[in-house]
Structure 1
Amino acid sequence: MAQKLLEVRNLTTGFMTEKGFVKATDRISINIEKGQTLCLVGESGSGKSVTSLSIMRLIDYAGGTILDGKIEFKGDDLAAKKQDQMKNIRGNKIAMIFQDPMSALNPVFTVGEQIAESLRLHQNKSGDEAWKEAIDLLKLVGIPAAEMRAKQYPHEMSGGMCQRVVIAIALACKPELLIADEPTTALDVTIQAQILELLMRLKEELGMAILLITHDMGVAAEVADHIAVMYAGAIVEQGTVEEIFTNPSHPYTIGLLKSIPGFEGGSSEKELYTIKGTIPGLGNLPQGCRFNPRCPHVMDKCRQVEPGDFKIGNEHTTKCWLFEDKPEVTVSGGTGGNTNV
């Protein structure tokens, strides 16, 4: 049995607003095993980035609070740790690639210095050792003329080059888990493909696990081992990539897949499929299933009671009342209670 590297259980994170405490993630549960790639997918505003910031405990600096749940990394609960303790984990054992590479880099330091800083801080490398390793890391992520580039500032490099520098910083200490939050959003299509290919190559070479956050189901299909679909702060379906793409169960997942051009029953070159409506504000969620205002299969029960997680396969779960009467399906969690159906 594969060993769990990261186990998140019932994670609830939120922010205090003028209208009171708003949950940005609601009872999130995911597992990542060693060497595995888990893709967290969903529309903007679904809570994906908040989930990643919570795992890194950076949500504390963004005005958020972890209200409940556990974040166990190799059996150690990160949610219970103080920030001083997290400094030895963050950037060392768990690293993160942020959405915008230009804002993630310090404009007044050379890129080589920014890579070397992580090595000095976490690996106790001397100045010369750290600088040499910084150049090696630039070579590792495919930056030509690494010795020259190491002396340049972020504004002297393209967006694609800066993203590779951010990846080099994240990989400096050979983390066991890499969290990549929309790592290709700001890049053009050809560079996106290069960055994804680079991440997958480095994953194999270094043996690390990856939590990849994306809104693109096509990207998830290419790189994921497992997929968790997130909507309005909750995970509505998760399973292996094969289960999600061959047997999608939640209407939201089906809608995301149908929006992919060329997908069976989905968008064509002439007409793009769209999911009707918009994602609700986290401070104004509908009663019952949070997807019910947009769902083509909505029932009265959907508007009244939130479904639990129906297990429809070995690793496949869905949060949808359509599976209430399916044989040999179990449900847990949600306001619907814990029952066998």
Structure 2
Amino acid sequence: MAKKILEVRDLTVGFPREHGLLKATDHVSFSIEEGQTLCIVGESGSGKSVTSMAIMRLIDYAGGIIAEGKITFDGEELTTKKQSEMNRIRGERLAMIFQDPMSALNPVFSVGDQIAESLRIHKGMNAKDAWNKAVEMLKLVGIPEAEIRAKQYPFEMSGGMCQRVVIAMALACDPELIIADEPTTALDVTIQAQILDLLRRLKRELRTATLLITHDMGVAAEMADRIAVMYAGTIVEEGTVDEVFRTPRHPYTVGLLRSIPRLEEEPGSELYTIQGSIPGIGELPQGCRFHPRCPHAMSRCFIEEPSLLAAKGKEGHRAACWLEGIPEVSTR
């Protein structure tokens, strides 16, 4: 059995206010094994990025707190660590690829210096060795003329190049886990495909575990070993790629899959959309949080919130839904 590199249990993250805690995530649980890619999918506002910020313990700097739950990374409890202790883990053993590469890079330092700084801090390299390693990392992520590019500043590079630099920076210290928060959102389709190919190749060669966050079900199908579907701050379904795409057990997952455009559809036909919008923090309905948008909602859904339970005969495939027979609901 593969070793669990990350285990999140009952994670509740919120933002303190005068009238109480505004929960951004509510009892989120999942785990990632060595060399595995877990993809968290869901609409904007589902709590995906907040979850990643909590794992990195960066939520502290955004005014948030971890109210409940545990985050265990390679056997170490992260929720109780001081920021000084997290500084030794972040960047070396636990790295993050941020959504916007331009805001993740410092505009007044060359990209080579920014990669080398991480190596000097975490690996104790001298300036020359750190610089040479930074150039090697730029070559690894497919940047041509790496020796020249290393001396350039972020504003002299394209968005795709900057994203490759951010990936090189994340991989520089050989981390055990990489968190990629929508790493292709700001890129055009061609560059997006190149970045995804790069992440797949690096996973295959380096066996690094990955937590990939996206709202694109196509990216999830292409990249993930397992998928966790998140809605309104909680996970509503989790399973392998095959289980989630072939036999979805939650109406929200079915809606996301039906929203994917298909080549066989008639030109000019209306695309499927999930009616309504995701509730804001502090505006969750009673009962199942998806029932205002669910075409299958029944009386129990308005009163009682379902737990995340395993499908019959499939311990690893779980869904939070009172409706029986969801696998028979068509995704077309």
Q: TM-score surpassing 0.5? A: yes
Counterpart of 2:9?
Answer: 9
TM-aligned CA distance change 1:147 to 1:269, over 3 Å: farther
Aligned residues: percent identity?
68
Counterpart of 2:319?
Answer: 318
Counterpart of 2:142?
Answer: 142
Deviates more, 1:121-130 or 1:78-87: 78-87
Distance in 2, Cα, partners of 1:56 & 1:30: 15
Mapping 1:109-128, distance limit 5 Å: 109-128=109-128
Counterpart of 1:184?
Answer: 184
Amino acid at match of 2:278: I
**1:80 is paired with a residue of what secondary structure?**
coil
Amino acid at match of 1:317: R
Distance in 1, Cα, partners of 2:252 & 2:175: 33
Distance in 2, Cα, partners of 1:325 & 1:190: 36
Amino acid at match of 1:202: L
Mapping 1:1-341, distance limit 5 Å: 1-17=1-17, 19-262=19-262, 270-312=269-311, 313-323=314-324
Distance in 1, Cα, partners of 2:187 & 2:326: 45
CA contact (8 A) 1:260 1:267 kept: no
TM-aligned CA distance change 1:288 to 1:186, over 3 Å: same
**1:30 is paired with a residue of what secondary structure?**
strand
What is the TM-score normalised by the length of structure 1? 0.93
Give the deviation of 1:205 after TM superposition: 1.1
Deviations 1:220-271 (A, max 9, x none): 000100000000000000000010011001000000000111289x997622
CA contact (8 A) 2:251 2:326 kept: no
Amino acid at match of 1:261: P
**2:129 is paired with a residue of what secondary structure?**
helix
TM-aligned CA distance change 1:154 to 1:270, over 3 Å: same
Distance in 2, Cα, partners of 1:18 & 1:107: 38
Distance in 2, Cα, partners of 1:130 & 1:178: 21
**Over aligned residue pairs, what C-alpha RMSD do you find?**
1.7
Give the deviation of 1:17 after TM superposition: 3.4
Distance in 1, Cα, partners of 2:187 & 2:102: 11
Deviates more, 1:200-209 or 1:212-221: 200-209
Point out which structure has higher relative CO (alpha carbons under 8 A, 6+ apart).
2
Give the deviation of 1:324 after TM superposition: 9.7
Instruction: Tell me how many residue pairs correspond in the alignment.
Output: 325
TM-aligned CA distance change 1:224 to 1:147, over 3 Å: same
**1:16 is paired with a residue of what secondary structure?**
strand
Distance in 1, Cα, partners of 2:266 & 2:289: 25
Distance in 1, Cα, partners of 2:88 & 2:49: 22
Counterpart of 1:335?
Answer: none
CA contact (8 A) 1:261 1:268 kept: no
**1:198 is paired with a residue of what secondary structure?**
helix
Amino acid at match of 1:85: E
Distance in 1, Cα, partners of 2:61 & 2:246: 40
Amino acid at match of 1:280: P
**2:237 is paired with a residue of what secondary structure?**
strand
TM-aligned CA distance change 1:193 to 1:92, over 3 Å: same
Amino acid at match of 1:188: D
Distance in 2, Cα, partners of 1:6 & 1:325: 30
What is the TM-score normalised by the length of structure 2? 0.95
Counterpart of 2:330?
Answer: none
Moved over 4 A (4+): 266-269
Distance in 1, Cα, partners of 2:266 & 2:69: 39
**1:315 is paired with a residue of what secondary structure?**
strand
Give the deviation of 1:134 after TM superposition: 0.3
Deviates more, 1:76-85 or 1:118-127: 76-85
Distance in 2, Cα, partners of 1:2 & 1:94: 19
